[in-house]
Structure 1
Amino acid sequence: MDRRQVLRAGVVGAGAAAFSGALWQQAFAALARPGVGPYGELSAADAHGVALPAGFTSRVVARSGQTVPGTPYTWHAAPDGGACFADGAGWIYVSNAEVPVVGGASAIRFGPDGGIRAAYPILSGTSVNCAGGATPWQTWLSCEEIPLGRVMETDPWGVRPARERAGMGRFKHEAAACDPVRRVVYLTEDEEDGCFYRFVPDTWGDLGAGRLQVLCAPAGATSGPVTWRDVPDRDGRPVPTRRQVGAALRLDGGEGCWYDHGTCYFTTKGDNRVWAYDAAASTLALAYDDSLVTGTPPLTGVDNITGSPRNADLYVAEDGGNMEINMITADGVVAPFLRLTGQDASEITGPAFNPPGDRLYFSSQRGVSGAKSGSGGITYEVTGPFRGP
């Protein structure tokens, strides 16, 4: 294990719910300890430049500017945020294109055996589509990471036209996560003084109308109770949404967002933190903070975040750092799950599990070339003995 030191994490919150018998509040109530993860040490990088634990294998499912194997569709540049959707016994992986002016999103459909069945566009005419989030009603929220950026609700099957969800605000959107219990959608903002938002639709399952709210807490707070206040002008003109409510908590570069059983986890890249919002108790805490690490932090460049559908493990992708996806397990171990070699000028994006939880998809946005255009992007699949509850 390289450069793994002691990691301190905060308490998630007393209201965290059980998931497969594991309590997140127990996992983070004490020191999380870097060390050997549940799958052991990483082996040498394979032919695709992916270092994985024993028993796991990788394959390339798409390359930017090239046709997706077995289809006539050309994969988009700069693949970013992604998610998986059940498609009968198979599944669909959707991926954003973080490209100015001609961004959008694409999808790859897989059969039950993991074979690629089709690839196609699901969104066009948008700009710098960074991350997003899946909804319980099987749509993909694709977010524009530009000033006055929009949220576009798209169809992973590519049948229904995409629809702008203006009520979710116009700002530098990053990621989204749905909370089906409280019937809200959480939203991150990629600004140095950004905020954490939630959209409260008038009708759950219909994002056409509702209220945009911002999380409020004392300046600099990292734990404790929080409140929500309505954003007066969600269009962000002439005053940006993040500057309309004086009590809003400022966050340094919001990135990934993932909701699971009562807790919404989100990341901020400017300070390398993973946050935990306990939705039931309406409290905020830190799950990871590299400033609390003795020695070299084990996880840097925190970016996209996802969770396993089989257990309470979190997977955090790095933008830079060691070019790793790190696990934070339910029992408080932080360890690399995979590492890309020879791609130091890239970033890891779009981690997402298929519905059975036995395949993990992700992308290297700029690949081996490191081209800022994202023309060298690579989308991967990892298969192996992912553990159950």
Structure 2
Amino acid sequence: MIPRRKFLGTAGLAFLGLQRYAQSAPSSRVIEPHGPLIPDPDKILDLPKGFSYRIISKRGDRMTDGFKVPGKHDGMAAFPGPDGKVVLVRNHELRLKMTGEGPFANNFQYPKELDLDLSHDPGKGGKRPYIGGTTNVVFDPKTGEVITEFLSLTGTDTNCAGGAMPWGTWITCEETENLTQNSRALNHGWCFEVKATAEPGLQKAIPIKALGRFRHEAVALDPDTGILYLTEDRGDGLLYRFIPDKRNDFHSGKLQALTIEDQPKADIRNYNPADPGPKEGDSMKVGWIDLEDTHAPKDDLRYRGFEAGATKFARGEGIHHTPEGIFLCCTDGGPTRRGQLFQLKPSGSADKADTLTLFLQPEKNDLLTNGDNLCPAPWGDLVICEDLIDPSFGEHTHVRCVTPEGKIHTLARNARDKSEFAGSCFSPDGKWLFVNLQHHGLTFAITGPWQG
């Protein structure tokens, strides 16, 4: 097992005060390094004392390009922009029927000025197009204001999460397995790459078909090896990795699925208390199985992978590379269905097994419930967005933090209801945390005394 005290650690920004607090805290995992949350008089977002938020984007508002801010905000990443600005690339998890939340005045038909060749699936002649996609938001960290906001990708379906690439792009993932529908010529369930540009304009949607066709959730790049890791949001999904033929180019290469050594067809969801899998803290040696027919016209990639020996995960969602490995949330894993947090440690060698550790499996008193999107914080914690899947789990969702020692504390609470948080990410200088409240169509910029 990899010691928790060696967890994340962003270079030069170790949050030593929080680590000392966690080490001296009682045996309970629950800590309050920033003190309790203060109720928001506007009943939108509760934060600790000294923290504040701004709503920087709202569903339905008019953007710079004249289109409306689409709804269903989801995965997101922050990139350095020109002149000290920050460029956010944000997903919109919109399905074909969600016409009331799309970016156009008439979401049953594209505007005449929109170039149909830029859309992945414009329908027939621009009628009944898919309205999922991404928007780019240019934020000024000095003033806390949005400078520019525009549609950057369209014609895709159910854009859930994704992953930031170090060369300044965002890979957005379709969380769907839709085959051709309504006499359409195109399938969905792909990944697309979007530039984190500050210049308004719609980008051409090009599916990265080598990454497979399944219900994609998120991706994380290992910058040391150039290998891309991918999650699948299914109750019986797999964990994938893609080895490109050419570094930083994902249009050709090999797609594989994780398997536990000496345990082919393992099930580590831990759904059944009578037949438990790994315990919290357990580490497993893992390898990878090559996959065939990865475009999966029968939506059976996970079934075929499992039969070949791959490991079954419980709704793999957020995934992120850190200096201490790759962390991923499985939203409803564990006997109480409150989720799991895994740590994958690549060996860096084809001749040596990788290591998978069940880092955290929260129970009722551990606060964290149904972790979804996640990101590393500049001081070394993991920031995790909640997406409550059971009405009995609570009346409000939260943004939680997991410390290097496995302690849990709360950064924010949805003061309205249990709409999920999504898309947490920090500005390059670490002073602003951006996060979405999905069903309300809000993007927040939060700032405060992060480091004590």
Output the TM-score relative to the length of structure 1: 0.86
SS at match of 2:213: coil
The CA deviation at 1:211 is 0.9
SS at match of 2:312: coil
Report what 2:62 is aligned to: 67
Report what 1:370 is aligned to: none
The CA deviation at 1:99 is 0.7
5 Å-filtered alignment, 1:341-380, equals: 341-344=415-418, 346-367=419-440, 377-380=441-444
Task: Provide, for residues 237-275 of structure 1, a one-character-per-residue CA deviation record: whole Å limited to 9, x for no partner.
Answer: 336221223211101111111111141111111210111
State the distance in 2 between where 1:331 and 1:275 align.
Answer: 14
| Code of the aligned partner of 1:161 | K
The answer on whether the counterparts of 1:11 and 1:286 sit within 8 Å (CA) in structure 2 is no
State the distance in 1 between where 2:79 and 2:136 align.
Answer: 10
The answer on whether the counterparts of 1:48 and 1:59 sit within 8 Å (CA) in structure 2 is no
State the distance in 2 between where 1:65 and 1:319 align.
Answer: 23
SS at match of 1:248: coil
State the distance in 1 between where 2:321 and 2:379 align.
Answer: 13
Corresponding position: 1:330 with 2:404: yes
The answer on whether the counterparts of 1:177 and 1:187 sit within 8 Å (CA) in structure 2 is yes
Task: Provide, for residues 203-241 of structure 1, a one-character-per-residue CA deviation record: whole Å limited to 9, x for no partner.
Answer: 112222111111111213443100011111211133622
The CA deviation at 1:181 is 0.7
Corresponding position: 1:76 with 2:138: no
The answer on whether the counterparts of 2:425 and 2:434 sit within 8 Å (CA) in structure 1 is yes
Report what 1:263 is aligned to: 325
5 Å-filtered alignment, 1:1-389, equals: 19-20=10-11, 33-47=28-42, 49-67=44-62, 72-88=66-82, 89-101=84-96, 102-113=131-142, 114-147=144-177, 149-157=189-197, 160-217=203-260, 218=263, 219-221=266-268, 222=278, 223-238=283-298, 240-245=300-305, 246-271=308-333, 272-280=339-347, 282-290=354-362, 293=363, 295-308=364-377, 310-320=378-388, 321=394, 322-344=396-418, 346-367=419-440, 377-387=441-451
State the identity as a percent: 30
The CA deviation at 1:282 is 0.9
State the distance in 2 between where 1:15 and 1:233 align.
Answer: 39
The answer on whether the counterparts of 1:122 and 1:162 sit within 8 Å (CA) in structure 2 is no
The CA deviation at 1:66 is 1.7
State the distance in 2 between where 1:341 and 1:318 align.
Answer: 14
Q: Which structure has the highest helix share of the two?
A: 2
| Code of the aligned partner of 1:125 | G
Task: Provide, for residues 142-171 of structure 1, a one-character-per-residue CA deviation record: whole Å limited to 9, x for no partner.
Answer: 100001510011112266533211111100
Structure 1 residues 242, 109: closer, same or farther in 2, change over 3 A? same
State the distance in 1 between where 2:416 and 2:231 align.
Answer: 30
The CA deviation at 1:334 is 0.4
Unaligned runs of 5+ in 1: 1-9, 368-376
Cα RMSD of the aligned pairs, angstroms, is 2.6
Aligned length: 361
Unaligned runs of 5+ in 2: 97-130, 178-187, 269-277, 334-338, 348-352, 389-393
SS at match of 2:138: strand
Report what 1:374 is aligned to: none
Report what 1:372 is aligned to: none
Structure 1 residues 180, 267: closer, same or farther in 2, change over 3 A? same
